[in-house]
Amino acid sequence: MSLVSQEVESVLKIHGIPTTAHAVLLDCDPVVEAVEALLGKDNVTVPTSTADAVRAVRSHRIVTVITNARGASAFVRALNAENVTVGVIAIDDAGGEIPSAQLRAGGVMDVASAPTREVLEPLLRRGLDFSALLVLELAHRCESRRLLNRELELLGQPPESMSDDLSLFQPPPLPVGPLSVYNLEEASDAFETAYIDRVQQLCASAREAAVHLGVSSATLSRRMRKESMSDGSEDSA
């Protein structure tokens, strides 16, 4: 059973990103059995220290953390110190000893009122979707960087002049978040259309644009006819 939402999982598969979900459980033995039942034993890691937990988070792409409320804020600080972003779920087994608002202010994504499967499942789903969307955003940034390098080549500017630090390159933000709807088809079509238009502006002819885009002239012509028909139907509507 996959706890990553169907829509997000389908986008991951299209990008060739593994969809296996993991959970790292730190200092919360009462939830181990319930989480293993949800994700499978092979997808649950139970480290014995904060350092091991951070390493476990780093070793998986789609992951969320469940930890005891008493140490949750300190664990979030440890993650931040390592520049790791992940959804952290706190288990409140002390009857509200630490207010939920305080935990959220400390960076905790959500608080589980009881260590039961029924309570944990929706929280795990939210945490894993958040992690998956971060993975997709990084893939988007890498692809945007690749396309920008190609545009620089077309302009005669060597891409070697760019920094390799992805954090310095900020493409248009994706409309994603833990609760957002991620429509890959619409986003991909819009991005591809904008890129094709940009390449054509830089080239002297459609044939030259097709060469730079790595497609045949016939393929590019069909794509442009499709766009024209789409624009016409929208105008007529």
Which pLDDT tens digit goes with each residue over 59-106? 998 999 999 998 898 999 999 898 888 999 999 876 667 888 888 888
**pTM of model > 0.75:** no
Q: Are strands 110-112 and 63-68 parallel, antiparallel or unpaired?
A: unpaired
At 141, the pLDDT band (50, 70, 90 cuts) reads confident
Residue 145 has pLDDT above 80, yes or no: no
| Six token digits for residue 1 | 């059973």
- Beta carbons of 106 and 130 less than 8 angstroms apart: no
Confidence of residue 233 (pLDDT cuts 50, 70, 90): very low
Give the helix ranges, DSSP H, for the chain. 6-14, 32-39, 50-58, 69-81, 100-105, 117-154, 184-202, 206-213, 217-236
- Dig out the tokens for 93 from the structure: 């087994």
User: At residue 45, does pLDDT exceed 50?
Assistant: yes
Mean pLDDT of all residues in the chain?
79
**How many whole angstroms separate alpha carbon 131 and alpha carbon 86?**
6
Contact 25, 50 (CB under 8 A): no
Segment among 76-90, 111-125, 153-167 with least mean pLDDT: 153-167
The phi, psi pair for 82, rounded to 5°, reads -95, 10
The C-alpha angle with vertex 65 and arms to 63 and 69, in degrees rounded to 5, equals 170
Q: Pick 6-134's CATH classification: 3.90.550.10, 3.90.1150.10, 3.30.559.10, 3.40.50.2300.
A: 3.40.50.2300
pLDDT at 123: 92
Domain ranges within the chain, ordered by starting residue = 6-134, 142-236
